[in-house]
Amino acid sequence: MYLETMAKNPFSPRHPIDPAYFVNREEVLESFGRSIKRSAKSVPRKPDNIAVLGGWGIGKTSVLKKFESLAVDEFDDLKAFTAFIELNPSACQNIEAFISRTRDDIQRSFLSELPLIAKIKRELSDWRVKTLDLGIGLERKEKMMESHATSLFEEALRDLWRNILEPKDIEAALLMFDDLHYLARNYPGGLYDIRSIFQKLAMDGCNYMLFITGPETLFGEIRDFAEPFTRFFDRFKLDFFNLEETGKAIQEPLQLSGSGVKADEAVIENIYDLTQGHPYFIHFIMCDLVDYKGKGRITENFFDEHWKKIARHIEREKFEDDLFSASETERKALHQIAELHSDVVAPSEIRIRGKAEILKRLSEDKGLLIKSGRGEYKLYHPLFKEYLNQLKS
């Protein structure tokens, strides 16, 4: 019985959402639909690229996964090839590491249930061997010149389009780079390279479309190169859900999964008040509630009975790690910010040496602060503020 109810739990805060349960974000999805239709039919090729930006856990990866599933299932009159490239610091140590990760993920990402793609599996493995012949991804004693590496990469992608994808009548190749800020941090010139590579490929008739994610500061970090790179993307910033959207994020998975669980309107309002509509926290709370409930109606009473336990669970799983990732002085800054009455604070209100650096690290590297346009900061979530203050008392 226990296992049976666990299996029906459609909430999973630790993973991007299952595309079947994806809700909201209409604007970016519509733009995606228009882009791929337009670009597949346009001659000469003019691919549109999309950047999905936002803070920690707001749903960036989920949007890319949804794009991928739309390209395969919904736009089936379009023959698309999609590759999902998951970046992390080690895959972005230098441009060569980035290129080999891209190459490996292009290979891995073909969706085997798609007969068309299955047919090109064999050609793709030949392509991998070929890119190795070109020298991409090989361990080298001497560091390959960056410009040499990028031109080999461009050549390999041209080869992939002309000799493998185009002959199979593929109309668009969708490359999704998740967390591109890792590259921007280690090698800002890499973003500039990406733009020039894909711009040239488009001019040569290779229809690669780029979909990238990163924090809002992604384009700011590369000020020197920002202009041309920025213009290369249609940018969308993801925000917290409003009350109605929070309701959808809760009700749709409950219904579609056949969970046998229902949530009262008052419970949705409580969850909205506590989470402010942050998708990760909504899923976290719902995941626990569904586990506790098993089957039936989640009432406000049931919610009140379980909220303390769930709050502890969030602390253990998220907030303790957040604090652990901060140095001692960074923690001091976090506590000072939490104690202030106003949620938004100016750097002048914080009394710590070297605060400019500390605030920058806490917002850009660790995602624990959010920087507003006016140079003010706030903690990334009110529940985190509450947690910090509770530790003090």
H or E element at residue 346 = none
Backbone angles phi, psi at 214, to 5 degrees: 175, 175
**Interface of this chain with ligand ATP, residues 29 to 68, rule: CB under 6 A:** 54, 56-62
> In the range 56-75, which residues lie near Mg ion by CB under 5 A?
60-61
H/E stretch holding 30 reads: helix 26-41
Nearer to Mg ion, 59 or 247 (CB): 59
- Minimum CB separation of residue 10 from ligand ATP in Å reads 9
- Binding segment for Mg ion (CB under 5 A), chosen from 52-60, 125-133, 232-240, 327-335, is 52-60
Nearer to ligand ATP, 80 or 285 (CB): 285
Q: Helices (DSSP H) in 189-299: which residue ranges?
A: 189-203, 223-231, 243-256, 265-275, 279-293
As measured in angstroms, the least distance from the Cβ of 188 to ligand ATP is 20
Cβ proximity to Mg ion: between 61 and 275 the closer is 61
CA-CA distances (angstroms) from residue 333 to 299, 358, 359?
Answer: 39, 8, 8
Beta bridge partners of 174: 82, 209
Residue facing ligand ATP at closest CB distance = 59
How many chain residues touch ligand ATP (CB under 6 A)?
21
- Options 12-20, 80-88, 344-352, 375-383: segment touching ligand ATP (CB under 6 A): 12-20
Say if residues 84 and 180 touch (Cβ distance below 8 Å): no
Nearest in space to 60 (alpha carbons), one of 221, 211, 244, 183:
211
CB closer to ligand ATP, 22 vs 236: 22
Does residue 279 belong to the site contacting ligand ATP (CB under 6 A)?
yes
Identity of residue 393: S
Contact region with Mg ion (CB under 5 A), list: 54-62, 261-269, 295-303, 310-318: 54-62
Q: What type of residue is 96?
A: E
Contacts of 53 (CB under 8 A, 6+ apart): 60, 213, 214, 215, 216, 218, 235, 236, 237, 238
Q: How far is the CB of 144 from Mg ion (least distance, A)?
A: 30
Interacting residues toward Mg ion by CB under 5 A: 60-61
Interacting residues toward ligand ATP by CB under 6 A: 12-13, 15-17, 22-25, 54, 56-62, 249, 279-280, 283
